[in-house]
Amino acid sequence: MDLKKELYLKFKKYIAINTQSDPNSKTYPSTKGQKILGAILVKEMKAIGLKKVQMDKFGYVTGELPTNIKEKMPVIAFMAHMDTSPDASGKNVKPKIHPKYKGGNIVINSQKGIILSPFQCPQLLSCIGEDIITASGDTLLGADNKAGIAIILTVVQWLIKNPEIKRPTIKIAFTPDEEIGKGVNFFNVKKFGADIAYTIDGDIAGAIEDETFNADGFKVKITGKSVHPGTAKDSLANAARIAADIMNSWPENILPETTSGREGFIMFASVQGAIENAEISGIAREHDIRKLNILKTHLKAIVNEKKIKYPLADIKIEFTEQYRNMKKVISMFPEIMDKLILAVKEAGIKPIIKPVRGGTDGARLSFMGLPAPNVFTGGFNFHGRYEWVSLDGMQKSAEVMLNLVKQWAKK
């Protein structure tokens, strides 16, 4: 079995299915394509020899590879999500292989001027000599997270074909709607039966993550007062303009486009408005929960100031908890990260331990009783037409998974 070839064949098959999730949908999963991919995965998992394979009514695809050792060991799980981002089309994805990357620019689409440059994406330079996969410039690629699915199923297929490799019981799960924050809304951790998990959903080779943002969503609702503009003095409250004033009052150095590393931010994700009604939707992110509360207090203060400035308008803000930093849970089980760090080193890669500037299913799973750090897939620039993944990086991720299996099979 050619590991690299098998990874590409699986990946190519999965990205052909449009699984773009929809935050405005009232169904679960949010789109039909996710169940279409789920049915394909169920068939494939049964064909390669996994046990207890099923897809439930919520679209969760699960299976099991039983242990081949007598000693009682922790049950480990590998997980990935099936949906792609709602931010860019996932329909008719056409992969392009750029073999043995030599450095410099990668032309994704010359007609549209879509060029992948190491100047904008220096992470490319760590992949010189590797095979880079992009889409055609019309869609995202879908490596987030179909690369993870391909890696997981290639590894379990390898383990089945090589029974001399000792392994604990391995659980597999593929989830829907991770990209819209609903990936584990109905996931039954107790029924799943794993003790620890790894989400295969990271970026460049070597990157492993045991820390996420603390995340809240927010909405600002503004009810204005409409009158004829000719008699508007002291009697008009323009909700659309008030919304703009609120957003313009937020400091420019605390936005996603002006922060990095552990720095938090407020993002104004969407705004809809007219004179009588306007609404701002957004997100608040911080690794430190105390700093998150400071950001929220700051935004509330701006809203309160606008209430005084615009007394004819009704302005309300509400926050909704989304997920919390999984570091709090994972740090209680040091063996999980110790084995992961060792598995990365055994694959010949330097571990890059970093916080996620976002979230994963693993963040919520950790607080549901299943600690789940994140493992790289070898890609970058997710959610858009500049997305790419290294096929060699995917192979390294598979090697790390195999090393993890061996680590957890030891006494």
Query: Which residue is it, tokens 């060991």?
Result: 73
Rounded Cα–Cα distance for residues 324 and 128 (Å)? 36
Q: What is the pLDDT, as a whole number, of residue 333?
A: 95
∠ CA 15-16-21 to the nearest 5 degrees?
65
- CB atoms under 10 Å from CB of 91, counted, come to 13
Phi, psi values for residue 76, rounded to 5°: -105, 155
Q: Is 83 a catalytic residue?
A: yes
Its pTM stands at 0.90
Q: Is 286 a catalytic residue?
A: no
Query: How does pLDDT run across 137-149, given as a tens digit for each residue?
Result: 999 999 999 999 9
Q: What is the pLDDT, as a whole number, of residue 360?
A: 79
DSSP conformation class of 215: E
Helix (H) or strand (E) holding 289: helix 289-309
DSSP helix, strand, coil percent of the chain (3-state; round to 5) = 35, 25, 40
Rounded Cα–Cα distance for residues 272 and 243 (Å)? 9
Strand, coil or helix: 382:
coil
CA-wise closest residue to 358 among 213, 204, 156: 213
Rounded Cα–Cα distance for residues 387 and 379 (Å)? 8
Residues 290/283, Cβ–Cβ less than 8 Å: no
Rounded Cα–Cα distance for residues 75 and 66 (Å)? 9
The catalytic residue among 6, 44, 64, 83 is 83
Q: What is the pLDDT, as a whole number, of residue 24?
A: 87
Q: What is the pLDDT, as a whole number, of residue 49?
A: 97
The catalytic residue among 6, 130, 177, 178 is 178
Q: CA–CA distance from 15 to each of 11, 23, 40, 192, 387 (Å)?
A: 6, 20, 12, 26, 13
Q: What is the pLDDT, as a whole number, of residue 123?
A: 94
Q: What is the pLDDT, as a whole number, of residue 136?
A: 95
Domains in the chain, CATH or no CATH each? 3-212+325-408 (3.40.630.10), 214-322 (3.30.70.360)
Averages of pLDDT over each 10 residues, the chain, 411 residues: 92 98 93 98 98 97 96 96 94 96 95 93 95 96 97 98 96 96 94 97 94 94 96 95 98 96 95 97 96 98 98 97 92 96 96 88 93 96 95 98 96 68
Q: What is the pLDDT, as a whole number, of residue 1?
A: 72
